[in-house]
Amino acid sequence: VIGDKRRIGASLNNLGNVYCLKGELDSALDVYQRSLAIKEELNLNREIATTLINIGSVLYLKGEFGPATDYFQRSLALSEELGNKQNTALATNNLGEIYLLRGELGQASEYFERALELYRELGFKQEIAASLSSLAEVHWKKENIEEALQYYQQSLAIYKEMENNPYTASVLFNLFWIALEQENPSLAQQYLGDLEEVNTRSDNKVIDQRYRVAKALWLKSAKRSRQRLEATKILEEVIGEKVGDHALSVIAMIHLCDLLLSELKVTGEEELFGEIKDLTNRLLDISRKQVSHSLLAEVYLLQSKLALIELDMGQARKLLAQARTIAEDKGLTSLVRLVTKESDLLQSQVGKWELLIRQEPSKQRMIDMTNIDALLEQLIQKTITSVIQEKRTSDEEISTKKYRPVYIDRLNEFRKTEKCK
């Protein structure tokens, strides 16, 4: 009976949603595909378009960006044909996120602009604010700072109007970081104060962690030993706490690596090098659990520098090869260029490194020779706009990526489409 099949398709879709929220992605993909087959058999085009988004979302979470793009494109074409603006906007936004991740900023900007236009037509305030933030991120990566600030300010105004404290805090954090990056301490201090105010009126662990990380970055930027020591203490505390947002943990760990590296250059204490290696191993664990291929490649790149500092050229080459393979397989264009540059540089200077290794230099000297400081600075700049992002569920934030499956096809409401929240 057609009605029964339709209900089976809907039930499978809802089961896929449950698997997604539990993190059982292979099971989710299996039941979504079975749901899709039934809907295609029955020519349920509206439901097909949304299930295609669900499948694309799972594939993205699995790190399969190419297939995810194909499913989003299929959903986009079908949703436009049906005149379904909500699904069109969601598929368009998700494609923008993939192009942003790959470093294809021109295409990312086009998709985000289109998604923003659609969300404005639909009157979806939160999605409008999110699209504005995504556009700000694109311009930030393009180093169009004025445009990035304008988009973030527009996004901030909407989140404040909605009294959405978690997202208000998130945008303020980004504005604070841009001000620090632009060496505008008075503006950075203003945003830090705004963030502190949001934290004071909120009972939210992630907002509190976000504020404390921002405070640590402010203290670190002061360059004075006492303040940098306080920054180190705050970052260690955040890292040691139960995770509220993996992105904050990543930011805290990379900045702590930077602080420890600076201390190692001054003191030469061997145990500091061990702490840095431990932090990079923890970053590897996070990148694997969160299926963040860009972070995984970046950490391998960082670890290749640490291997050189330990005078292990073989391990350095192996780690660079791993980073390059990941970047190439996942289409991470900007990372491919960076890793290739580092690999070519190492290969061209083999004789120099072999001679240096025979001299048994200190780790302090090797830190300077490997130029690891510059690499850490690049990672610091990238982590603020990491693919590891938080979404809000009910009254609390949980850590996950931007891609969320769409809850659809309730058994008593076949035509109602509702976003997963």
Structure-token pair, residue 393:
């569920």
Q: 15-19, 147-151, 226-230 — which is least confidently predicted?
A: 15-19
pLDDT at residue number 56: 94
Q: What's the token pair of residue 78?
A: 């079908």
Closest by Cα among 115, 109, 141 to 128:
115
**Separation of alpha carbons 378 and 360, rounded Å:** 28
Can you give the pLDDT at residue 410?
A: 36
Q: How confident is the model at residue 178 (pLDDT cuts 50, 70, 90)?
A: very high
* pLDDT tens per residue across span 314-370: 999 999 999 999 989 888 877 898 899 999 988 888 888 888 888 888 888 888 888
Average pLDDT, integer, range 205-214? 94
pLDDT tens digits, 244-254? 677 888 899 99
Percent of the chain with pLDDT over 90: 60
Please answer whether residues 214 and 176 qualify as being in contact, where contact means their C-beta atoms are separated by less than 8 angstroms.
yes
Give pLDDT, residue 197.
97
Give the lowest-confidence range in 64-68, 342-346, 350-354, 378-382: 378-382
pLDDT score recorded for residue 407: 44
Mean pLDDT, range 270-287, rounded to an integer: 92
Structure tokens at 188: 């950075």
Give exposure, 82-94, as e/b (b: 16+ Cβ within 10 Å): eebbbbbbbbbbb
Lowest mean pLDDT among 10-14, 109-113, 134-138, 273-277: 10-14
At 383, the pLDDT band (50, 70, 90 cuts) reads: low
Determine the Cα–Cα distance for residues 225 and 219; give it in Å rounded to an integer. Answer: 10
pLDDT at 252: 92
Q: What is the DSSP string of 320-388?
A: HHHHHHHHHHTT-HHHHHHHHHHHHHHHHTHHHHHHHHHT---HHHHHHHHTHHHHHHHHHHHHTT-S-
What is the per-residue pLDDT for 112? 97
- 410, β-bridge pairs: 413
User: Would you say residue 401 has pLDDT above 50?
Assistant: no
Is the pLDDT reported for residue 420 higher than 50? no
pTM listed for this prediction: 0.83
Q: What percent of the chain has pLDDT over 70?
A: 89
**pLDDT greater at residue 120 or residue 223:** 120
Q: State yes or no: pLDDT of 237 exceeds 90.
A: yes
**Over the chain, what is the mean pLDDT?**
86
Give 243's pLDDT tier (boundaries 50, 70, 90).
low
5-15 average pLDDT score: 90
Average pLDDT over residues 55-68: 88
Instruction: State yes or no: pLDDT of 384 exceeds 80.
Output: no
**Model pLDDT for residues 27-36, shown as the tens digit of each residue:** 999 999 999 9
